């Protein structure tokens, strides 16, 4: 099962949970299952199933392009701000 | 010419850039050089006040001036929706973008655009501006980030509510965002520390300082199509931003990128294109707008000034146990400073077990900030690298040794929790330690040596490349990455390597938005990485198709040949089943019409495996105790560059970025008076480095190939600007015995510190 | 509006006549009226050197010269530097040393360097840096520019 890291800012919405293992072969599946484990959190992280402008999802350090992106059995999932350069 | 890197034929050599002859003869067409029949010249009227409500605008006298063909205000643009729109590398709020292009109800900085004029000559346009009457209700401005955060500060936006810890609140003020990253438990970590150091540091607003001003020439055709010629880092983002502000479909806009005279992130946002478009629509003629240098300072996005508090605790053996920082960044008139990137970069070179970083994005009456080479990271490094230096001194340890003890590696976690992939930080520290510069003692009064490290993420994003094979065996490489620093060469070299043909046989062309698939900006240290990746893949597509052509020629009923039976090596296709059957690349190219027709290879990429960049710099200075002037005696920059495709241009990125950092450190700042007007808005008083201010900049290119790229490329352009201010601060400390905690460390600031400070 | 004046001058060895207003700078006339856009505008107040030209053998910022002041004099711009079929050694060395990245300062720098080498064919590094300090470059950090100029001096000296 993938390991989902809850950003510290949102841990108060997750009963203080910092990390949680969640099933899912795609990002969408994983987020659906996350809703089951920590109800309500997903709506803050990916509201309306759209990526937030100020938050992206990283699977194994790579920014996810779409909810269909695959998640591995030992993947790490993080929620981090988007990066832009100059 | 240089030898190729081991294992390659083209990569690592130093060929001449394809656009070189045009650029050294003055023939290359930059945006300001564009000429069209019937072209009008435009000027923008800008607010003289840093903060005011617009009561009325009367353009009638300007419209009546002979030679004036069009006048516009924000009323000529559609009311912008309050929603996110793609604007460059990240989304921006459309209302903020549109209002920054042309003010609606309020002006939020001196220089904010209020109206615009197009006339038959630039001089008539300038005269017309004086005839536009604007009535303002002047409001008090707020020009300092800490003041802007106070409850009683003048408030810029009626509807800006703070986002706090990722959730929207009802707090109305100038703080757009307050966020936090945490790894481990710093509070617990500090309890284990033998030494704790804490400091507050400040940096001033600085500008990218590209020598070519912003420009745009726009023709709004009678058929409704908008044609734009502009110097830009990204023709596709200009297309998108302009279509959004004008409220027209993207397909109605064509953007042709001209050559560009510097960008560094500052030529990603649009300022002029929508204005020129409206003036063109109203006048029926092409309209050109070029900013003056004063307008560049008054009205284009600089990088934020900042206030930073930082605390680091370590054990006597040098292991840092906890680190904390609070970063308060100036966003300018609209939200969106790079404070989040700063928060992610500040401790990135180190595997600290406990870290916490708070960031504040704060609006105030300065121009909206824009990206400037590794945006946010230089500010952050100034704080962190100063403290690491102080820590080393307190522990009686060499500062590079302290970095070796704490340095990050593959697998270590950043403050966001994400683990690093294969990276080369430790290699840069090692290279600095082993360098002859570091081994050479620095002697003499008022002299000091400083070191600092830095990090930048780099990005991947989207690129498209098409390769057309010519009958003589050369190829045209069609790409959409504007060439600010030699990328035509670095991309062509990668195609030549993959095609196994000479570099001179690859002809790169940078084309407009109609002519190539979507390509993201030339910026973010992505171009050689991502567009090179696309060129490599397009080349493989060409080879695959050529194998098919060979198979078609050699195939017979008695001896069938398919593409899988064809090998390609060193410019020659060979039938694996019958080694007598060979064709050279040139021969296949020369017979395309007989084997199926024209041959075009293409690829689009959105690559993963980007790979971040680390750098460690060493600088020797001498400080004049009577004038406070800092002379740089010697400068060495080490950097993990992945694979250096064209080493001269990699060296150039490092040298150029380092010198921008030196200017940021020693002299550059926006100086404002009490009315919120910048009083040093010229290159005379906004003091950037000249050739006389610098020695040669030695570079050490460490090649830790990036496993995420076919040739191991890692972005190199941005990280060089990150270490210099801290490296110089640390060198100055050793020269004068006092820590400079404010940028710039200008002569008067240093004199003041020597005479009065602690 | 002031009366336009007719001005006859010599630009890159060719006699040239143009009409301009007295308030127009040489930079503006070169770029807007004569199609010589190789000379660049960076600041228009004499602080960046992108508009460098040679006026009667003297290096000047063309944004600080009125076009009418060139009557009867000679002007050298970047367009006149290369030979008929070959680049000037300075131009060639700039390319070999990768002494340009965006290239906007390059015409001004080549004009300045040409003026330097005509006055001082064997400058030291310091002399070159001092002479070129009036030409701002934001991309390169000047390292490769200085190397290119010193290398060109050597090449030109060797073939002199």
Please tell me whether residue B306 adopts helix, strand or coil conformation.
strand
**Would you say B333 and B366 are in contact if contact means Cβ atoms under 8 Å apart?**
yes
C9, C49, C52 from C55: Cα distances, Å: 11, 14, 10
What CATH number does residue C136 fall under?
A: 1.10.150.120
Provide the Cα torsion C62, C65, C68, C74; round to 10°. -60
Q: Which two tokens mark B276?
A: 């020129």
How would DSSP label each residue in B393-431? HHHT--HHHHHHHHB--TT-B-TTSPBP-S--HHHHHHH
Is residue B431 predicted with pLDDT exceeding 60?
yes
**Would you say B395 and B316 are in contact if contact means Cβ atoms under 8 Å apart?**
yes
Q: What is the pLDDT of residue A84?
A: 75
CATH architecture of B306-458+610-756: 2-Layer Sandwich (3.30)
Residue range B610-620: average pLDDT? Answer: 95
pLDDT (tens digit, 9 = 90+) per residue, C50-97?
A: 999 999 999 999 999 999 999 999 999 999 999 998 999 999 999 999
Helix B94-101 × helix B235-246 angle, to 10°: 90
ipTM, two decimals: 0.98
Percent over 70 (pLDDT), chain B: 99
Q: Are C76 and C113 contained in the same domain?
A: no
C-alpha Rg value of chain B to the nearest Å:
27
Percent over 90 (pLDDT), chain C: 94
* Chain A residues touching residue B165 (CB < 8 angstroms): 9-10, 12
* C104 vs C108: CA distance, rounded Å: 8
The residues facing C53 across adjacent strands are: C60
Q: What is the pLDDT of residue B681?
A: 97
Please tell me whether residue C18 adopts helix, strand or coil conformation.
strand
B91, B182, B341: residue with CB nearest A83: B341
Chain B touches chain A, with at least 3 Cβ pairs below 8 Å, answer: yes
Q: Please report all neighbours of B, defined by 3+ CB atom pairs within 8 A.
A: A, C
* B749 vs B627: CA distance, rounded Å: 10
For CATH 3.30.365.10, the residue range(s) in chain B are 20-28+460-605, 306-458+610-756
* B312 vs B324: CA distance, rounded Å: 6
Q: What is the pLDDT of residue B1?
A: 52
* B72 vs B67: CA distance, rounded Å: 15
A residues 5..44 contacting B (CB < 8 A): 5, 7-10, 12, 44
Q: Which residue's structure tokens are 């808005």?
A: B681
Is residue B362 predicted with pLDDT exceeding 90?
yes
Is residue C137 predicted with pLDDT exceeding 70?
yes
**Would you say B701 and B644 are in contact if contact means Cβ atoms under 8 Å apart?**
yes
Each residue of B589-626: b (16+ CB within 10 Å) or e?
A: bbebeebeeebbbbbbbebebbbbbbbbbbbbbbbeee
B508 — phi, psi (to 5°)? Answer: -80, 145
Q: Note if the bond before B209 is cis, omega within 30 degrees.
A: no
Is residue B458 predicted with pLDDT exceeding 80?
yes
Is residue C20 predicted with pLDDT exceeding 80?
yes
* Overall CATH class of domain B20-28+460-605: alpha beta
**Would you say B388 and B356 are in contact if contact means Cβ atoms under 8 Å apart?**
no
Each residue of C14-52: b (16+ CB within 10 Å) or e?
A: eebebebbeebbbbbbbbbebebbbbbbbbbebbbbbbb
* A55/chain B closest Cα distance in angstroms: 9
C100, C101, C133: residue with CB nearest B690: C133
B166, B525, B526: residue with CB nearest A44: B166
Is residue B606 predicted with pLDDT exceeding 70?
yes
Q: Which residue's structure tokens are 């994005």?
A: B361
* B265/chain A closest Cα distance in angstroms: 3
Q: Are C142 and C109 contained in the same domain?
A: yes
Residue range B117-137: average pLDDT? Answer: 97
Residue range C143-159: average pLDDT? Answer: 94
Domain boundary (C22, C45, C80) is at C80
Q: Are C95 and C146 contained in the same domain?
A: yes
Percent over 90 (pLDDT), chain B: 96
C-alpha Rg value of chain A to the nearest Å:
12
Interface residue A54 vs chain B (CB under 8 A): yes
Nearest to B697 by CA among B647, B651, B748: B651
CATH code for B34-139+212-261+267-299? 3.90.1170.50
**Would you say B744 and B647 are in contact if contact means Cβ atoms under 8 Å apart?**
no
Nearest to B207 by CA among B717, B669, B666: B669
Number of structural domains (chain C) is 2
Domain architecture of chain A: domains with CATH: 2-80 (3.10.20.30)
Residue range B2-26: average pLDDT? Answer: 95
* B588 vs A77: CA distance, rounded Å: 48
Which tops the pLDDT comparison, B573 or C3?
A: B573
pLDDT (tens digit, 9 = 90+) per residue, B253-292?
A: 999 999 999 999 999 999 999 999 999 999 999 999 999 9
Is residue C1 predicted with pLDDT exceeding 60?
no
Please state, rounded to an integer, the average pLDDT across all residues of chain B: 97
* B305/chain A closest Cα distance in angstroms: 17
Q: What is the pLDDT of residue B82?
A: 86
Q: Are C76 and C93 contained in the same domain?
A: no
Dump strand ranges (E) for A1-86: 2-5, 19-22, 56-59, 62-63, 76-80
Using the beta-carbon criterion (under 8 Å), do C143 and B30 form an inter-chain contact? no
| Selected residue of C50, C139, C144 to mutate for chain B interface (largest B Cβ count, 10 A) | C139
Q: Are C155 and C107 contained in the same domain?
A: yes
Chain C touches chain B, with at least 3 Cβ pairs below 8 Å, answer: yes
* B32 vs B259: CA distance, rounded Å: 9
Please state, rounded to an integer, the average pLDDT across all residues of chain A: 93
Is residue C160 predicted with pLDDT exceeding 70?
no
* Chain A residues touching residue B181 (CB < 8 angstroms): 7-9
Instruction: Report chain A (86 residues): mean pLDDT per 10 consecutive residues.
Output: 94 92 96 94 93 91 93 95 81
Q: What is the pLDDT of residue B84?
A: 86
Dump strand ranges (E) for C12-142: 14-20, 52-55, 58-61, 74-76
What CATH number does residue C13 fall under?
A: 3.10.20.30
The residues facing B611 across adjacent strands are: none
* A43/chain B closest Cα distance in angstroms: 11
Assign C115 a pLDDT band (cuts: 50, 70, 90): very high
**Would you say B376 and B265 are in contact if contact means Cβ atoms under 8 Å apart?**
no
The pTM for the full model equals: 0.97
Q: Are C63 and C104 contained in the same domain?
A: no
* B583 vs B548: CA distance, rounded Å: 12
Eight-state DSSP code of residue B531: I
Domain boundary (C80, C113, C128) is at C80
Least confident interval from B78-92, B103-117, B343-357:
B78-92
Nearest to B69 by CA among B36, B34, B117: B117
pLDDT (tens digit, 9 = 90+) per residue, B179-197?
A: 999 999 999 999 999 999 9
Q: What is the pLDDT of residue B88?
A: 63
B203 — phi, psi (to 5°)? Answer: -125, 150
Domain boundary (C31, C47, C80) is at C80
Residue range B228-248: average pLDDT? Answer: 97
B208, B416, B718: residue with CB nearest A85: B718
Nearest to B253 by CA among B267, B268, B231, B238: B238
* B448 vs A48: CA distance, rounded Å: 56
Q: What's CA B67's distance to the chain center, in Å?
A: 39
List the single residue in B with minimal CA-CA distance to A83: B341
Residue range B105-122: average pLDDT? Answer: 98
Q: Give the DSSP H or E segment for B567.
A: strand B566-569
pLDDT (tens digit, 9 = 90+) per residue, B293-351?
A: 999 999 999 999 999 999 999 999 999 999 999 999 999 999 999 999 999 999 999 99
Q: Provide the edge-to-edge strand list for the sheet that holds B175-183.
A: B167-172, B161-164, B175-183, B355-363, B320-332, B306-314, B195-203
**Would you say B739 and B725 are in contact if contact means Cβ atoms under 8 Å apart?**
no
C-alpha Rg value of chain C to the nearest Å:
16
Q: For Cα atoms B298, B303, B306, give the angle at the middle one, nearest 5 degrees.
A: 110
* Chain B residues touching residue A61 (CB < 8 angstroms): 418-421
Q: Are C140 and C96 contained in the same domain?
A: yes
Q: Which residue's structure tokens are 């605790």?
A: B313
How would DSSP label each residue in B338-349? THHHHHHHTTTT
Using the beta-carbon criterion (under 8 Å), do B418 and A65 form an inter-chain contact? no
Q: What distance, in Å, lies between the first and last C-alpha atoms of chain A?
A: 37
Q: Is the dihedral of CA C17, C19, C22, C24 positive or negative?
A: negative
- Residue C114: CA atoms inside 13 Å, Cβ hemisphere, count? 28
**Would you say B204 and B744 are in contact if contact means Cβ atoms under 8 Å apart?**
yes
Using the beta-carbon criterion (under 8 Å), do C21 and B261 form an inter-chain contact? no
* B193/chain A closest Cα distance in angstroms: 23
Residue range B665-690: average pLDDT? Answer: 97
Q: What is the pLDDT of residue B450?
A: 98
Q: Are C95 and C155 contained in the same domain?
A: yes
Is residue B758 predicted with pLDDT exceeding 70?
no
* B307 vs B328: CA distance, rounded Å: 5
Q: Are C18 and C47 contained in the same domain?
A: yes
Using the beta-carbon criterion (under 8 Å), do B648 and C129 form an inter-chain contact? no
Q: Which domain holds residue C116?
A: 89-159
Is residue B120 predicted with pLDDT exceeding 90?
yes
3-state secondary structure B118-184: EECCHHHHHHHHCCCEEEEEECCCCCCHHHHCCCCCCCCCCCCEEEECCEEEEEECCEEEEEEEEEC
B486, B692, B697: residue with CB nearest C130: B692
* B521 vs B529: CA distance, rounded Å: 12
* C48 vs B683: CA distance, rounded Å: 7
**Would you say B620 and B682 are in contact if contact means Cβ atoms under 8 Å apart?**
no
Residue range B362-389: average pLDDT? Answer: 98
* B729 vs B719: CA distance, rounded Å: 18
Q: Which two tokens mark B471?
A: 């009958």
Q: Which two tokens mark B190?
A: 């500090």
């Amino acid at each position: 099962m993938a390991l989902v890291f809850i950003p510290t800012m949102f841990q108060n919405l997750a009963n203080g949970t910092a990390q949680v293992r969640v099933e899912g072969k795609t990002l969408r599946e994983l987020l659906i299952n996350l809703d089951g484990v920590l109800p309500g959190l997903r709506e803050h992280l990916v509201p309306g199933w759209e990526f937030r402008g100020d938050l992206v999802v990283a699977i194994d350090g790579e920014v996810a392009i779409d909810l269909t992106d695959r998640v591995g059995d030992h993947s790490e999932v993080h929620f981090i701000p988007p990066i832009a350069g100059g | 010419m240089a030898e190729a890197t081991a294992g390659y034929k083209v990569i690592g050599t130093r060929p001449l850039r394809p656009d070189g002859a045009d650029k050294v003869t003055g023939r290359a067409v930059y945006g300001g050089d564009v000429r069209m029949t019937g072209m009008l010249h435009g000027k923008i009227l800008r607010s003289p006040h840093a903060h005011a409500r617009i009561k009325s605008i009367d353009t009638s006298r300007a419209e009546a001036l002979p030679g004036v063909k069009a006048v516009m205000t924000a009323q000529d643009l559609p009311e912008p929706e309050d929603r996110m729109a793609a604007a460059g590398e990240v989304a921006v709020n459309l209302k903020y973008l549109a209002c920054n292009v042309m003010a609606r109800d309020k002006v939020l900085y001196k220089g904010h655009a209020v109206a615009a004029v197009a006339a038959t000559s630039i001089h008539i346009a300038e005269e017309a501006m004086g005839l536009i009457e604007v009535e303002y209700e002047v409001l008090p401005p707020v020009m300092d980030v800490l003041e802007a955060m106070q409850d009683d500060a003048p408030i810029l936006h009626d509807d800006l509510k703070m986002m706090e810890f990722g959730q929207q609140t009802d707090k109305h003020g100038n703080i757009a965002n307050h966020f936090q990253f945490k790894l481990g438990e710093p509070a617990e970590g500090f309890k284990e520390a033998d030494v704790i150091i804490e400091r507050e540091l400040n940096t001033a607003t600085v500008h990218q300082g590209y020598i070519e001003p912003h420009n745009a020439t726009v023709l709004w055709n009678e058929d409704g199509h908008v044609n734009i010629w502009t110097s830009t880092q990204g023709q596709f983002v200009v297309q998108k931003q302009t279509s959004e502000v004008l409220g027209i479909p993207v397909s109605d806009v064509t953007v042709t990128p001209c050559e560009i005279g510097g960008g560094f992130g500052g030529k990603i946002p649009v300022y002029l294109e929508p204005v020129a478009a409206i003036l063109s629509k109203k006048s029926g003629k092409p309209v050109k707008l070029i900013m003056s240098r004063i307008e560049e300072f008054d009205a284009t996005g600089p990088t934020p000034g900042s206030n930073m508090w930082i605390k680091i605790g370590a054990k006597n053996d040098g292991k840092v146990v906890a680190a904390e920082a609070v970063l308060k960044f100036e966003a300018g008139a609209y939200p969106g400073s790079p404070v989040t990137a700063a928060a992610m970069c500040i401790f990135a070179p180190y595997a600290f077990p406990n870290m916490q970083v708070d960031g504040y994005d704060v609006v105030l009456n300065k121009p909206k900030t824009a990206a400037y080479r590794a945006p946010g990271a230089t500010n952050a490094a100034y704080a962190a690298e100063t403290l690491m230096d102080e820590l080393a001194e307190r522990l009686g340890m060499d500062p590079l040794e302290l970095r070796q003890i704490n340095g990050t590696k593959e697998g270590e976690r950043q403050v966001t929790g994400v683990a690093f992939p294969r990276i080369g930080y430790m290699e840069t520290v090692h290279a600095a330690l082993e360098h002859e510069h570091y081994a050479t003692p620095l002697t003499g009064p008022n002299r000091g040596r400083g070191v600092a490290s830095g990090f930048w993420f780099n990005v991947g994003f989207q690129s498209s490349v098409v390769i057309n094979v010519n009958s003589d065996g050369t190829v045209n490489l069609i790409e959409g990455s504007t060439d600010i620093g030699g990328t035509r060469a670095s991309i062509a070299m990668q195609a030549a390597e993959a095609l196994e043909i000479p570099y001179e046989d690859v002809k790169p062309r940078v084309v407009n938005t109609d002519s190539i698939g979507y390509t993201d900006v030339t910026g973010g240290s992505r171009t050689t990485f991502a567009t090179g990746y696309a060129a490599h893949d397009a080349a493989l597509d060409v080879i695959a198709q050529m194998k098919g052509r060979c198979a078609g020629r050699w195939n017979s009923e008695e001896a069938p040949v398919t593409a899988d039976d064809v090998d390609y090596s060193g410019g020659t296709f060979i039938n694996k089943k019958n080694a007598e059957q060979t064709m050279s690349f040139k021969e296949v190219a020369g017979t395309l019409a007989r084997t199926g027709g024209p041959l075009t290879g293409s690829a689009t990429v959105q690559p993963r495996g980007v790979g971040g960049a680390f750098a460690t710099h060493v600088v020797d200075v001498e400080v004049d105790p009577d004038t406070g002037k800092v002379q740089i005696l010697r400068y060495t920059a080490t950097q993990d560059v992945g694979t250096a495709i064209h080493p001269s241009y990699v060296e150039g990125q490092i040298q150029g970025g380092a010198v921008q950092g030196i200017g940021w450190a020693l002299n550059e700042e926006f100086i404002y008076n009490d009315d919120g007007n910048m009083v040093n808005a010229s290159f005379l008083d906004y003091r950037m480095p000249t050739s006389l201010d610098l020695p040669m900049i030695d570079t050490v290119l460490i090649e830790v190939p990036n496993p995420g790229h076919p040739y191991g490329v890692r972005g190199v352009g941005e990280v060089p600007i990150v270490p210099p201010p801290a490296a110089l601060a640390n060198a100055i400390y050793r020269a004068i015995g006092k820590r400079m905690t404010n940028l710039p460390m200008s002569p008067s600031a240093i004199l003041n510190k020597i005479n009065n400070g602690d | 509006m002031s009366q336009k004046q007719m001005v006859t001058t010599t630009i890159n060895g060719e006699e040239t006549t143009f009409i301009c207003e007295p308030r127009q700078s040489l930079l503006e006339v070169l770029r807007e009226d004569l199609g010589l856009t190789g000379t660049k505008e960076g600041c228009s107040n004499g602080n960046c050197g992108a508009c460098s030209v040679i006026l009667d053998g003297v290096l000047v910022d063309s944004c600080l010269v009125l076009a009418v002041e060139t009557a009867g004099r000679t002007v050298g711009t970047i367009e006149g530097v290369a030979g008929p079929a070959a680049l000037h050694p300075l131009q060639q060395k700039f390319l070999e040393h990768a002494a340009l990245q965006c290239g906007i300062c390059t015409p001004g720098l080549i004009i300045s360097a040409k003026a330097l080498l005509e006055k001082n064919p064997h400058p030291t590094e310091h002399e070159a840096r001092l002479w070129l300090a009036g030409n701002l470059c934001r991309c390169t950090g000047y390292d490769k520019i200085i190397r290119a100029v010193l290398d060109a001096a050597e090449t030109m000296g060797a073939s002199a």
